[in-house]
A and B are shown apart, each in its own frame.
Chain A
């Protein structure tokens, strides 16, 4: 084993995946340089790979490599007392040929793990602050000899997650689409990034407001199959979107916001462009989507959709639990899209009519 001073165990915390990946990449490179060969690399998830399997791999020598590097993601899911003790035991007496990254997007792990790894081995990767983001993107684009308008930058932040690996991918994509020297405007950003956007809870809302129930249910199933989204996040995004339409209706004088009570003002009767600006819906794609949604749902329907979503969330958190996550969300979407409780899926559903729209 070549001599190489490196901590044998790290806790890498925080939501900033890009910076974390750079950190890991740098250590991998230093290991490869020191060893004169690529280390054996493994990525495991705590919900898939048990602590025993992990330790087994870390402690067992490799035939083909002098060093093993293991990423153990979602390490916050290691909650059992025995598992924590075993992992902490390893961290206190690690294999000299192995390097372990305990990775979590939260900010800490179980105390015994943090103690065993020590403060020197804990690194937190914070999100970019709002004032840091424009500089970061501009510098990244400048590497490809691209520049960007302020308005286009706002659109980019609207379309891309606030996380450097996502922003980096967006910059790479823009560099692939546009020749060096291009100044990117809002049209370039929208035409490139809105098409490549992955399905998320907001694209589910787009399908709902587009009126295509099959597509909406397909997107829902995709989201549920993807570990990045859970039912609560999906509901939160739908509620956010329906509240946004409700506010747009209010601002344009077409309805009151929920909770305002009967006889509340119809709103300031702004024109739609001004209402979009007020609600910070600046991209043409965003505006087009919300126009469709405004046509599809009245303020009253939005208010009922929000109530139905809240009731669904209640059911999910209550006795029905995660076992009924998919059917309950399907029912919610069917209810929202079919309007006045006309969906046969709802007839006979007992949960105190929380889906009823009238």
Chain B
């Protein structure tokens, strides 16, 4: 097996592959990237068993063949080289790398490509498309609320379903907060069974997907497939019963206040200096036209900041985990935000103002 290609193109794809590979054990084939040269293209595959990645780049001087090499080291070698072409040749169980611009030669042990795990495939006709920008927006609104508690594995991913009206819904929760988005501009969607998508693949999509063009999605019984640019990414789905999220979406929250998102984020950042190391509990005290954010009193001290808000109700105080407010605030894409609530011990809802197709629900903390 032999090929020559542009080092930058190869490095870009190998770095992507390295993000997929979880193992750092140089002796395991699971730490390797699969390279297959055919005609004028190099097929690149990587997997951690759960997530699969495949792409191809143009290459020249091809002698067809396949091999796998330790991806971490290959990334390291390619990163260290200057721009230009690189020739890679398989020779007696080793991959020999020769950059065109340097009198350098690197050898990497290879393992047979035949032993590399097969990646799952979806039938061509099962793919549907939606604007990449819309899908990415949905991921951004939900990804951070996923539970990291492995004992609640069914909450370790983002729930995706098609609503009866044909919209695409994504929901995530860790049991204390919930993120919801319902996209009505996803286009015509085929029917599919609701799925729970692991965070790893969504994190990769969020990082690599541009806002231009369309994203191809296919869903099978056990896997989800994404196709964009020259990439095909697959992931096993999380099996399990996602909680009945509709039941916990507050329906009649009559009290609300609005504030500038930037003011709230800045105040929260300053007050959080005193809540970070403890229980993250932050107090929000409302009175007409004013919101006071404050921390608990500690031996070290306390913080308190007042910001202007649009509120006309009775004086009230609730406590929230500041992280549960800070994270939604980062992704709310409006200058002003609205917080809806009914009483201090019940869920609050954060929305952009004007209201959009998404919102975030947070359960408050014990006040004393």
Binding site for B on A (CB under 8 A): 40, 42-43, 52, 55-56, 58-65, 86, 93, 95-97
Q: Is the CB of B278 within 8 A of A61?
A: no
Q: Is the CB of A61 within 8 A of B345?
A: yes
Q: Is the CB of B365 within 8 A of A63?
A: no
Beta-carbon contacts of B139-154 to A below 8 Å, as 1s and 0s?
A: 0000000000101000
Given A93-B368, A95-B366, the answer on whether A63 and B278 have CB atoms closer than 8 Å is no
Interface of B is mostly: loop
Across-interface contacts of B110 in A (CB, < 8 A)? none
Chain A nearest CB from B18 CB (Å) reads 29
Across-interface contacts of B368 in A (CB, < 8 A)? 93
- With an 8 A cutoff between CB atoms, is B295 at the interface? no
Given A40-B175, A56-B321, A93-B368, the answer on whether A63 and B279 have CB atoms closer than 8 Å is no
Q: Is the CB of B278 within 8 A of A59?
A: no
- With an 8 A cutoff between CB atoms, is B176 at the interface? yes
Across-interface contacts of B175 in A (CB, < 8 A)? 40, 62-65
Binding site for A on B (CB under 8 A): 149, 151, 173, 175-178, 243-244, 248, 277-281, 319, 321, 345-347, 361, 363-366, 368
8 closest cross-chain pairs (CB), A and B: A61-B363, A59-B366, A95-B366, A63-B248, A59-B365, A56-B279, A55-B279, A60-B365
CA distance A59 to B367 in the complex (A): 8
Q: Is the CB of B361 within 8 A of A59?
A: no
Across-interface contacts of B346 in A (CB, < 8 A)? 61
Q: Which residue, of A55, A60, A62, has the highest number of chain B Cβ atoms within 10 A?
A: A60
Across-interface contacts of B248 in A (CB, < 8 A)? 63-64
Across-interface contacts of B280 in A (CB, < 8 A)? 56
CA distance A135 to B279 in the complex (A): 48
CA distance A52 to B319 in the complex (A): 16
Tell me the nearest residue of chain B to A94, going by C-beta: B366
Across-interface contacts of A65 in B (CB, < 8 A)? 175
Q: Is the CB of B364 within 8 A of A61?
A: yes
A–B pairs, 13, beta carbons within 8 Å: A42-B151, A55-B279, A56-B281, A58-B366, A59-B365, A59-B366, A60-B363, A60-B366, A61-B176, A61-B364, A61-B366, A64-B173, A64-B175
Chain A nearest CB from B350 CB (Å) reads 14
Within 8 Å by CB of B321, from A60, A62, A96, A97, lies A60
CA distance A56 to B176 in the complex (A): 11
CA distance A65 to B346 in the complex (A): 12
Chain B nearest CB from A176 CB (Å) reads 27
Tell me the nearest residue of chain B to A68, going by C-beta: B175
CA distance A62 to B364 in the complex (A): 9
Across-interface contacts of B178 in A (CB, < 8 A)? 63
Tell me the nearest residue of chain A to B278, going by C-beta: A52
Within 8 Å by CB of B173, from A55, A60, A63, A86, lies A63
Across-interface contacts of B243 in A (CB, < 8 A)? 63-64
Chain A nearest CB from B174 CB (Å) reads 9
Chain B nearest CB from A47 CB (Å) reads 17
Tell me the nearest residue of chain B to A86, going by C-beta: B278
Tell me the nearest residue of chain B to A57, going by C-beta: B176
Across-interface contacts of B278 in A (CB, < 8 A)? 52, 55, 86
Chain B nearest CB from A146 CB (Å) reads 35
Given A64-B243, A64-B248, the answer on whether A59 and B281 have CB atoms closer than 8 Å is yes
CA distance A64 to B281 in the complex (A): 20
Q: Is the CB of B347 within 8 A of A63?
A: yes
Q: Is the CB of B279 within 8 A of A62?
A: no
Given A59-B366, A61-B365, A64-B243, the answer on whether A52 and B281 have CB atoms closer than 8 Å is no
Across-interface contacts of A60 in B (CB, < 8 A)? 176, 321, 363-366
Q: Is the CB of A52 within 8 A of B279?
A: yes
Q: Is the CB of A52 within 8 A of B176?
A: no
CA distance A86 to B278 in the complex (A): 9
Tell me the nearest residue of chain A to B177, going by C-beta: A63
Across-interface contacts of B319 in A (CB, < 8 A)? 59
Chain A nearest CB from B364 CB (Å) reads 6
Chain A nearest CB from B83 CB (Å) reads 46
Chain A nearest CB from B321 CB (Å) reads 6
Chain A nearest CB from B284 CB (Å) reads 14
Across-interface contacts of B366 in A (CB, < 8 A)? 58-61, 95-97
Across-interface contacts of A59 in B (CB, < 8 A)? 279, 281, 319, 365-366
Chain B nearest CB from A1 CB (Å) reads 9
Chain B nearest CB from A2 CB (Å) reads 14
Across-interface contacts of B244 in A (CB, < 8 A)? 64
CA distance A58 to B366 in the complex (A): 9
CA distance A224 to B184 in the complex (A): 55
CA distance A59 to B149 in the complex (A): 17
Chain B nearest CB from A61 CB (Å) reads 4
Across-interface contacts of A61 in B (CB, < 8 A)? 176, 345-347, 363-366
Q: Is the CB of A63 within 8 A of B281?
A: no
Q: Is the CB of A63 within 8 A of B277?
A: no
Q: Which residue, of A40, A61, A93, has the highest number of chain B Cβ atoms within 10 A?
A: A61
Chain B nearest CB from A31 CB (Å) reads 17
Tell me the nearest residue of chain B to A93, going by C-beta: B368
Tell me the nearest residue of chain A to B178, going by C-beta: A63
CA distance A76 to B368 in the complex (A): 26
CA distance A335 to B225 in the complex (A): 55
Chain B nearest CB from A35 CB (Å) reads 15
CA distance A58 to B368 in the complex (A): 12
Extra pairs beyond A43-B151, A61-B363 (11, CB < 8 Å):
A40-B175, A52-B279, A56-B365, A62-B175, A63-B347, A64-B173, A64-B175, A64-B243, A64-B244, A93-B368, A95-B366
